[in-house]
Structure 1
């Protein structure tokens, strides 16, 4: 039964993708859509085959920046959640500023980040970090606070210190919440890295997916643009799938 479920999990998205490509190609043929508007899947594949080295290099750079932003968000977000769980006053005072990071459009503050940190890898990581931070804070705080009162009473009765309650009760209870937040942030970190590359980039020699998307859209190279967007989508799926596997492994140990 488990093997059948695994096959369905893998095959179902592939079937949907194949149907999407067929419908895409059919629409291009029936409506005679010009390549600069909507290229055919064959043209997109041809551009990818001609420029796969550049696309793979750009994807690798974007992935490194996204990983850096994600790791920072997990470490700092978990630390902030631990702090919020210990003080209601601190939580009420600082939580609105965590919401601020989520509500302010990143395109509005990305130019400031470039001014403060300069062009290059650091600024891209900072943008990815800012976008992916909020889910870690919210899910971590929720998990740390969702401890049953009778469990806390049991620890108190046995003279447990506040540190023991935090790391032996609250934090283990928050593990599933933190993993859920990390899975959400994994996709956001890719988006943040691409947005960061719109503004910062890596200089004249190296280019990420964000640069390729901006450059090809400006040059009306729609088939190349589709290839870059496709690689961005694949990168986001790889991040989410990897975090899902890690999450499932940790949760099996946790249970």
Structure 2
């Protein structure tokens, strides 16, 4: 109801003030533009979605693997974790042109741009999974760790039956953060790359619409991007609740 009220006020305000569409289009005009240009905008969104999914999967595999490695040795964690922090705090806009240039030198083929965009999105999505999973693996109950040691459990058994289940809520929380960040990284990288043609993503459509003062079309592309981000977050939230619903306090149903 709040959302509908805001949209109604937006539409009424645009009409009463006679605001030109190239400054601020109304919601109705944005929806009409979305329907009209669906054949161009939706394929571009699928390109961005493909980059997002590949980067997100790469972030999951690398973040989880390195987090497990960190928990096996404090010296390894203290030696390499600061570099993960540096990677996270480096502005992706600043290093994206370098990544695109380097990848084109290594992979001069037609897939070099796609690889570059995936790397940029991976950099943005990688750290939340690594930090959350590392925290979860280190947060296992010390009494249970002592019990595992008492029964001479191996490191692999302790990891598999104690640390990983204990870290699951933290890991899933990192997934929900990284899913949206992967989309942001993909869009920002597309802005920097400025690739056109049939393989251009939704960011290129936003960029060209702003250059040509096609503001309703730019808002339609932004709407698609926002809907995709919300869909990713909701899907990961439902997945998290499904895995945690029978045992974790964040998702279990209360009788009262």
Alpha-carbon contact 1:69-1:128 (below 8 Å) kept? yes
Alpha-carbon separation, structure 1, partners of 2:77 and 2:17: 56
Alignment of 1:166-181 (within 5 A): 166-181=159-174
Alpha-carbon contact 2:195-2:204 (below 8 Å) kept? no
Alpha-carbon separation, structure 1, partners of 2:196 and 2:73: 44
Q: Post-superposition shift, 1:203? A: 4.9
* Corresponding position: 1:212 with 2:205: yes
Q: Given the two structures, how large is their TM-score scaled by the length of structure 1?
A: 0.90
Q: Post-superposition shift, 1:202? A: 5.4
* Corresponding position: 1:193 with 2:182: no
Q: Which residue is 1:249 aligned to?
A: 242
Q: Which residue is 1:98 aligned to?
A: 84
* Corresponding position: 1:87 with 2:58: no
Q: Post-superposition shift, 1:253? A: 5.6
Q: Which residue is 2:14 aligned to?
A: 28
Provide, for residues 170-224 of structure 1, a one-character-per-residue CA deviation record: whole Å limited to 9, x for no partner.
1111011100000111111111111121133555222211111111111111111
Q: Which residue is 2:38 aligned to?
A: 52
Query: Paired residues, what number?
Result: 241
Give the secondary structure class of the aligned counterpart of 1:120.
Answer: helix
Alpha-carbon separation, structure 1, partners of 2:147 and 2:133: 23
Q: Given the two structures, how large is their TM-score scaled by the length of structure 2?
A: 0.90
Alpha-carbon separation, structure 1, partners of 2:226 and 2:159: 38
Unaligned runs of 5+ in 1: 1-14
Alignment of 1:21-170 (within 5 A): 21-118=7-104, 119-170=112-163
Alpha-carbon contact 1:120-1:201 (below 8 Å) kept? no
Q: Which residue is 2:251 aligned to?
A: none
1:222 paired residue among 215, 234, 237: 215
Q: Where has structure 1 moved over 6 Å in runs of 4 or more? A: none
Q: Post-superposition shift, 1:48? A: 0.9
Q: Alignment RMSD, CA only?
A: 1.4
Alpha-carbon contact 1:147-1:173 (below 8 Å) kept? yes
